[in-house]
Structure 1
C-alpha cells in the first residue's frame, strides 16, 4: 500500500500534468476552422427562425421538406444565373447546421467570421438573432459566445440537439434601390454564403486588426514599418503583454520586441521599426515579410500573422507609372467572382487557378471589378506579384439616400481596413460608371460630386499611402487621384487604330491617367475569314467612348459591338493592335483588358451565350480562347508558340485563294511548314501588325491541310501543329441539321450539331440559335455559361457542342433551331 505522502505526490503530479496538457491544448488549439460541411439550404423564406430549428417530423404539417444538402461556399444562383429560360433568383434563402463547439480558452470567445455573404445576412443561434450585416462583399464577424452559453442551459441542448448548437443563417439578395451595387450593373448581384465561413476561437483578449504599414524610399535604401493594433477585449481587461516578430522572405528575424500595453478601445501604435535596404516587393520578385503579433493576457495567448511588402510607387503627372523608382508598364486585366457551375461560390482552388492563369498570361496588374473580393485573391496577388486596384460596389444607378450612403461609407472603411496590409494594393476605387442614371427619379450630378468628395476624403483619411480612382464619370474626374475614362476603340465606337490618339488626348485632360476597360466580346470557337468587313459602315474620327445603349443590338450608329461578327478572329486583331501600340506609348501608365474571364450578367439576355458578358480571354470554365495567347506573345518572357486556329476546324474560300496563317509567339523567329513544305522563316517584330510579323500567305487545298510551325528563342526550339479543313463549296440558306457523337469518355458523351443547306453544304458563317433538350436517364451539362455548356446559344461557324452525363440507361437528345427540322440522337 502506498503511503499518504506518496499518494499526495502522485496527485500533485497529475494536477501539474493536467495543467500542462491544458496549456499545450490552448497553445496548439486550432483557432480557425472553415465550416464547409453538414449544411442544409432552403431556397425562399421561412415564417421565422423557429422553422429552421424545430424538430422536423416526417409527415407532420410542421415539417419543411425542401431543405437540400450543400457544401459551402454556396451561391443561390449557381445554375440559374445563366439559365436562358428564367430570371436569376433574387430573394431570401436559409442555411442551417448544428455545430459541436469546444473552445479551448476558458472565458474565451466563439466567433463566426464571414468572408463575404450576399447581400443582407442575419445570423441566429437557436432562436436568438446574434448579428446582421448589409453588403455582399466585405467581411464581417459575429460573436456568438453569449447566445451559445445561454442555449447550453436549454433542456433541448442535450436532448434534441445532442450537445450541438443550432446555427441558422438567412441571406437575401432581393432587389433594393437603397443598396449598392445597383441592379442595373452589368453583373449579377448574387445571394448566398458564397465565400468561406470560419469558426474562430479566441481567448479573452485577441487581435481584431493588425495594421502593418511598410514604406520605403524610391531607391530602396530605407524602410519603415509602423505596427498598429486593435484588440478585441469584450471582457474589458486592462492590460496585456504584446510581442512582435518580423521575418524577411527567407524567414530571418529582422525585428523582435515586446512590451506591456494598456488595452484601449482605440487603435494603438505599438512599434515603429527601421530596416536598411529591405527586400523589395515587385512583380518580378514579390518578396514578403511576415509580421507575427502575439498578445498575452490573463494566462492565455493569441497570435495574429500578416504578410507585408516594401515597395514604392508613383504616378508621374501626365506620365508613366513608377515602381521602386523604375518605370513599370501596368499590363492588366479585370476579375469578377463568377465561375461555371458555382457562380460566386468559387473555392480556394478555383481562385488560385484563376490568378495563376493571369500571371502565366503576363499580367502584373488587376482591377477587381466592381467590389471588394475574397481575401484569397489579395493573398495570391501578394504572393505572385500582381498590383491591384480594388473598389467598392458604388456602380451605376445614381445616388440614394442616407441608408445608401451609410453602406457605401461602411464598405469603403471595411475594404481599406481589411486589405490594408496587402502590398499588391495601390488603388482604392470609389466607384464605377457613376454617370449612369436610372434607379431614382432624379439624377443630381452635384450630389454625386459631393458624395464622391466625401468618399475621397475618407479614403485618404483611412489610408494616405494609396491612390483613389474611379472609372467613367467625367464630371468627377478632378476629384480622385487617378482617372480612367471610357475608351473602347474598335468595339463600342470607331476603329481600334484610333486607340493611341484617343488615349493621349484623354491622358492630357487629367493629372494621372490609367486606362482600365478595353476589348470586346468574342463567342468562343467562332472565327471569320473577313472579321472587319463592316469597317466601311463605321464613323471614324477620334470618338471611342462607350455611350448609352452601345451594349445593345438596337439603334444608334454602326459599331462592332452591334454589327460585328463577335468572332475570336476579330478580337485577336483588336488585342494585337492595342498591345502593339502600348509598347510604343512612353507616357502610358498602363491599361487593363476587360475582363480576364467571361462572366454572367442579367442585362445581356440576347448575347450568343445568353446572360453572359463574353469579353473574357478565357471562358467561364477556364477554357482558353485564342486571345489568351495573343497576350502571352507580348507579355511573357518564357518561350511560347501558338498557331492561330486551334479551334477553327474548317476554313473557307475560293480554290487557289491565298489565306493568311497567323502565329502568336514571343520567339525571335519562326518557320511555317504548310502541307510539309516550308513557307519560309519570319522574324518577329512587335510593330509589324498583325501577329508581330509572324504571318504567311498560303493556298489551302480542298480537304485537310497540315500546318506546322517551328520557332526559336535563343537555344529553345518550340513546335506547334494543327490540321484544318478547307471548303470551297458555297452554301445557301440553312435548311437542315445533323447531330453526332464526337467523343465518349468517363461516362460523358460529347455531341456536335452542324447546319447545312439543302445541298448538304455546311453553312460556315451561320449563327442560328440552337436549343438542346434531353429525355431519359442522362443529364445535359448545361447552364454553365460556356460555348459547350449551354442548352441555348448561337452556333459558331454553323456548329455547336453540348456534353451529356449518360448515367445508366438510355437518353434521347434533341437539337432544335427555328425554321429547321429538329434532329435527335439516342444515347
Structure 2
C-alpha cells in the first residue's frame, strides 16, 4: 500500500552488498595508463627478456585513484575525458569450500570493463553506484593455463578499463557544473563468500507517531549459484548499548530471490536523532551445511514528517534542517578521496552545526552514508539526472538502474529521508528536442519507481518548475543576492515559492568567494542590482560577462560580502516558523569544467572551506548560528592589511554563539556587547573602531554561562593611497618541512601596495624545486586572481630554483631559492 506524506514511518539499516567475513581492499601495487590500448592483450602480454618492447609505459599508482586528479583544475587545458587502464596481479585464496570470489567496486567512472587475463568478466555503466563482478570461474579457468604458472607465477592478472568519454546517452550530462571524473576513484575490494550468501539485506524499521513502539522487518536477497536448497538463519537485534533485545532462528527450505527472514516488535525503541544518533545492530548468521558466515547491518529507529505548507518534524518535534551539500572532490586527488579525508570532511560539517546534507548530484560512497548515520546528519541523496534534457532509451534505462541501485544499496540508512530524482531538468542543451511533457512523463515514472522500491521516504527535485507537482518535496531556485536580486529579498521570495507547493525546502543558496579576498565596502554592488525581478538562477549565470548587473558578475567576490549574505539568510531562517530547512551550496569548493574564468580557474568557489579543507571566514558564521559549543571568531584572520583614512571608524565584526563578548583593541577595552540574533550584521557583535596606522591587535573574550572562549588577530592598517598597479614584487614569506611559501604583491610606482588589485598572475618555476599547483585553491594555483593585491603559492624546495610571477600589463618578477 502506498503511504501518504502524513504517515509517519522510517526505514533503517544499511542495505549494502553483504559479504561475510573476507573483504580485502585492493589499494596497492597497481599500474596505470592514461590512454586506451589496442586490446586486452597489450595489458597482459609477456615483458622482459625475449618479449616485445613494453609500450606504452605504465605508471605505478595506488587506489582509490582519479584519472583527473590534477588536470581537472589545470588552467590551460580541458580535462581528459577518455579511456584509461589499470592492471595488477591478485593472489586468490578463497577460504570457503566451493566459495565465490568477487570484485566489489564502490564506484568507478564512468564506464568500466573488467578482465581476468584476456577474458572480459564484467562491465558497468554509471560512475557512482556500487557493483560486483563474480570472477570465480574465470580465475579457475586461468589457473589451468601455462601462463598462470610461468608468466604470472601463481597470481591472477586483473585489468580494468575505465572511460569517462563524453556521451550524450549517459547521465550525468557534460553540461553539469561538475567534472565527470574517470578512474577507480572509490575503493575496490576482493571479496570471498560462501557458495550461497545474502547479496542484499533489507531492514525496514518503523515507529509509531510518538516513538513508543517500533518494529523491524528483515529480508534478504540471496545469491545461490550452487542451487543449494536449505539453510539455517539466525537473526539477532542488538540495541545501542550492546544488549541483545531480540533473536530468532529460521530454517529456509528454499533459497532464491528476496525472502522475508524475521519481524520483531519493540516497546520504547531507542530513537535515532540528529543530536543522539543511536544505532541498533542487525546480525545475521547464515549456515549452509558446515559453512557459517555472519553479516551485520547498522539500523536506527526514527520517524519524520514534512508538514503541508509547514515545517519538518523528526520524532514528533520540529527540526529546522540546517544543511549543506557535498561533492566528491578534493585538492590533489579529484574524486579519489580516502576514508580519512571523507571522515575529516564530514566531522568538519558536523562541527559547523550541520544536521542535513544534500549529496549533489549523485549516489556517494557508503563511507559518507555510514558517517551520516553515526554523526546524526539527515540526507537527501539523488541520481545524476542533471541538466541537458532527456535522452533516449539507453539514457532512460541508465537512470532507472541508477535509481534502483541507489535505493537498494542505501535503503537501510536511518539518515536518508529523501531520494532525489533530478536537478535542473529544465536546463536544455544536449539534444535537438527539449520536450517538457516527455520530461514530465519520465519524472513521473521515476517517482513511481522510487515509491515502489521505498514507500517510506520522500521524493524531491531541485529547479524544474514544470515538474514540481510530481514529487513529494520541491526546491525552487532561490539565489537572493547572488545570481538575481539582493539578499534582503530572501524571506519574501521564499514565502512566495512556499505557497506554490505542498512541501517546500530550499536547497542551493549562497555565492562565490575568492578565499583571502576581503572588502572594506562589500555591499557596494547591491545598489546597482535590480530587485523585485526574482532571485532564481538562469542558464548562462555562470558566465562573468554580459547581462544586467548582478553580484555574481559584478560583485567583488570577497569573503566579506559572502559573510554578510550568509549572516542575513541565517538570521531570517530563524524567524520563518513554517520553514522545513535549507542547504547551503556547497560545503567545499569543487572543480567544474564550466567556470574557466573564475578567480581560481575551473573552480566553483561557493564553499565555506577551500578544496583542501582550509576554512574560509564564512565557516564561523555558520558556527555562530548553528552550534551549541561556545565559540568566538573575529572576522579577518586571513586579512593581513586593512585600509582607510586616518582616524576613520572601521567596523569589526565578531561571530559568536555566546551571550556576550568584550573587545580589546591594542590592549584597551571597547566594551561588552550582548548577542541579539536579529541585530544584523553579526547578531549585534560589532564595533566601530579607529585603528592605529601600522600594526593593530584585537582580542575578544566571549562568555556563555561560566564558559569563556577567546580569539585574537593582528593586522596592518594602511592609510597611504595607491595609484594604478605598476610593478610585481615576489618574496619568500614562510618555510616549513621543506615547503616554502612564496608571495607575489602588486605595488604602484611609489611602492604602495594596491589593495584593490584583481589582476590575474601566473607563477612559474625553473630548477630543482616544484610548484604545488593545480590544487584548485587560492594558494595552490599557478594562475590565479589576486586577493587584495597579493597571491601566494607553495613550493616543494630542493636544490636551487628560480620562481617567477608575471601578470596582466606587469613585468615579470623573479626570486631565487
- If the length of structure 1 is used for normalisation, what is the TM-score? 0.96
User: Aligned residue for 2:247?
Assistant: 256
Following the alignment from structure 2 to structure 1, what is the Cα–Cα distance between the partners of residues 153 and 185? 29
Counterpart in the other structure of 1:5: none
CA–CA separation in structure 2 for the residues paired with 1:256 and 1:293:
10
Any residues of structure 2 matched to 1:712-791 within 5 Å, and which? 712-791=703-782
Q: Which residue of 1 aligns with 2:655?
A: 664
Residue among 155, 180, 184 paired with 2:175: 184
- Show the counterpart of 1:563: 554
1:821 maps to what in 2? 811
Spell out structure 1 runs of 4+ moving beyond 6 A: none
- 1:238 shift after superposition: 1.0
CA contact (8 A) 1:501 1:542 kept: no
Quick one: distance in 2 between partners of 1:181 and 1:572? Answer: 32
Deviation sequence 1:689-725 (CA, Å, 0-9, x none): 0000000000111101111111111011111111111
Question: 1:44 touches 1:94 (CA, 8 Å); kept in 2?
Answer: yes
CA–CA separation in structure 2 for the residues paired with 1:236 and 1:796? 67
**Alignment partner of 2:96: what SS?**
coil
- Match of 2:82? 91
Deviation for aligned residue 1:264: 3.8
Q: Deviations over 1:178-230 (max 9, x none)?
A: 00000000000000000000000001111100000111112111101000111
- For 1:292, which of 266, 272, 283 is the aligned residue? 283
Does residue 447 of structure 2 align to residue 447 of structure 1? no
Structure 1 residues 511-526: aligned runs within 5 Å: 511-526=502-517
1:358-381: per-residue Cα shift (whole Å, max 9, x none)? 000000000000000000000000
Q: Separation in 2 of the partners of 1:524 and 1:195?
A: 29
Cα deviations across residues 592-634 of structure 1 (Å, max 9, x unaligned)? Answer: 0000000000000000000000000000000000000000000
Alignment partner, residue 12 of structure 2: none
User: 3-state SS of the aligned residue for 1:210?
Assistant: strand
| Structure 2 counterparts to residues 1-400 of structure 1, below 5 A | 31-57=22-48, 61-400=52-391
Deviation at 1:30, TM superposition (A): 5.0
For 1:631, the equivalent position in structure 2 comes to 622
- 1:178 partner SS: coil
CA distance in 2 between partners of 1:269 and 1:30 (Å)? 23
- Please list every run of 5 or more consecutive structure 1 residues that lacks an aligned counterpart in the other structure: 1-27
Q: CA deviation at 1:397?
A: 0.2
Per the TM alignment, residue 62 of structure 1 is displaced from its structure 2 partner at its CA by 4.3
How far does residue 421 in structure 1 lie from its aligned partner after superposition?
Answer: 0.5
Distance in 1, Cα, partners of 2:427 & 2:533: 23
Inter-partner Cα distance in structure 2 for 1:556 and 1:483:
28
Query: Tell me, what secondary structure is at the counterpart of 1:411?
Result: helix
Q: Distance in 2 between matches of 1:334 and 1:135?
A: 21
What is the rounded CA distance, in whole Å, between the counterparts of 1:542 and 1:84 in structure 2?
A: 35
Q: Secondary structure at the match of 1:448?
A: helix
TM-fit CA distance, 1:60: 5.9
Matched, 1:651 2:642: yes
- Deviation of 1:298 after TM superposition, in Å, equals 2.7
- Report the Cα distance in structure 2 between the residues aligned to 1:232 and 1:637, rounded to whole angstroms: 48
Name the residue aligned to 2:9: none
Counterpart residue number, 1:793? 784
Aligned to 2:467: 476
Alignment root-mean-square deviation, CA: 1.0
In 1, distance between residues paired with 2:292 and 2:437?
52
Quote how far apart the aligned CAs of 1:164 are.
Answer: 0.2
CA contact (8 A) 1:29 1:104 kept: no
Pair 1:702 & 2:693 matched: yes
- 1:395 is paired with a residue whose SS is coil
Deviation at 1:65, TM superposition (A): 4.2
Deviates more, 1:183-192 or 1:704-713: 704-713
Secondary structure at the aligned position of 1:534 is classed as: helix
Partner Cα distance (1:722, 1:749) in 2? 23
Given candidates 389, 396, 399, the residue that maps to 1:405 is 396
Q: Quick one: distance in 2 between partners of 1:397 and 1:371?
A: 16
SS of 2:524's partner is: coil
- Spell out, residue by residue over 1:269-316, the C-alpha distance to the aligned partner (whole angstroms, 9 max, x if none): 111110101000001100000001121113212211111100000000
Corresponding pairs, count: 799
What SS class does the counterpart of residue 330 from structure 2 fall into? coil
C-alpha contact 1:361 1:636 (8 A) present in aligned 2: yes
293-302 vs 328-337, greater mean Cα deviation: 293-302
String of CA shifts for 1:525-578, please: whole Å, max 9, x gaps. Answer: 000001111122111115111112122112221000000000000000000000
User: Which residue matches 2:608?
Assistant: 617
1:499 aligns with 2:451: no
Equivalent position to 2:664, from 665, 668, 673: 673
Task: Give SS of 1:137's match.
Answer: coil
Q: Given that residues 20 and 293 in structure 2 are in contact (C-alpha distance below 8 angstroms), is that contact kept between their aligned partners in structure 1? A: no
Change (3 A) 1:394 1:375: same
Cα distance in structure 2, aligned partners of 1:107 and 1:549: 58
User: Aligned partners of 1:769 and 1:263: how far apart in 2?
Assistant: 69
What is the alpha-carbon distance in structure 2 between the residues aligned to residue 349 and residue 233 of structure 1?
A: 35
Give the Cα–Cα distance (whole angstroms) in 2 for the partners of residues 505 and 261 of structure 1: 56
Q: Aligned equivalents of 1:64 and 1:379: distance in 2?
A: 43
Q: Distance in 2 between matches of 1:248 and 1:615?
A: 41
Which residue number corresponds to residue 10 of structure 1? none
What pairs with 1:582-593 in structure 2 (closer than 5 Å)? 582-593=573-584
CA contact (8 A) 1:207 1:302 kept: no
Contact 1:488–1:518 (8 Å) recurs in 2: yes
Taking the aligned partners of 1:577 and 1:218, their CA distance within structure 2 comes to 35
Contact (CA 8 Å) 2:20, 2:294: kept in 1 or not?
no
What SS class does the counterpart of residue 156 from structure 1 fall into? helix
Gaps of 5+ in 2: 1-18
Aligned to 2:11: none
Whole-angstrom CA distance in 1 between matches of 2:453 and 2:419: 11
In 2, Cα distance between equivalents of 1:52 and 1:369? 35
Offset of residue 652 of structure 1: 0.6
Question: Distance between the aligned counterparts of 1:595 and 1:547, measured in 2?
Answer: 18
Post-superposition shift, 1:489? 0.3
**Structure 1 range deviating more: 213-222 or 403-412:** 213-222
Per the normalisation by structure 2, the TM-score is 0.97
The residue aligned with 2:4 is: none
Secondary structure in structure 2 of the residue aligned to 1:350? helix
Using the TM superposition, name which of 257-266 and 616-625 deviates more.
257-266
Which secondary structure state, in structure 2, belongs to the residue aligned with residue 175 of structure 1?
A: coil
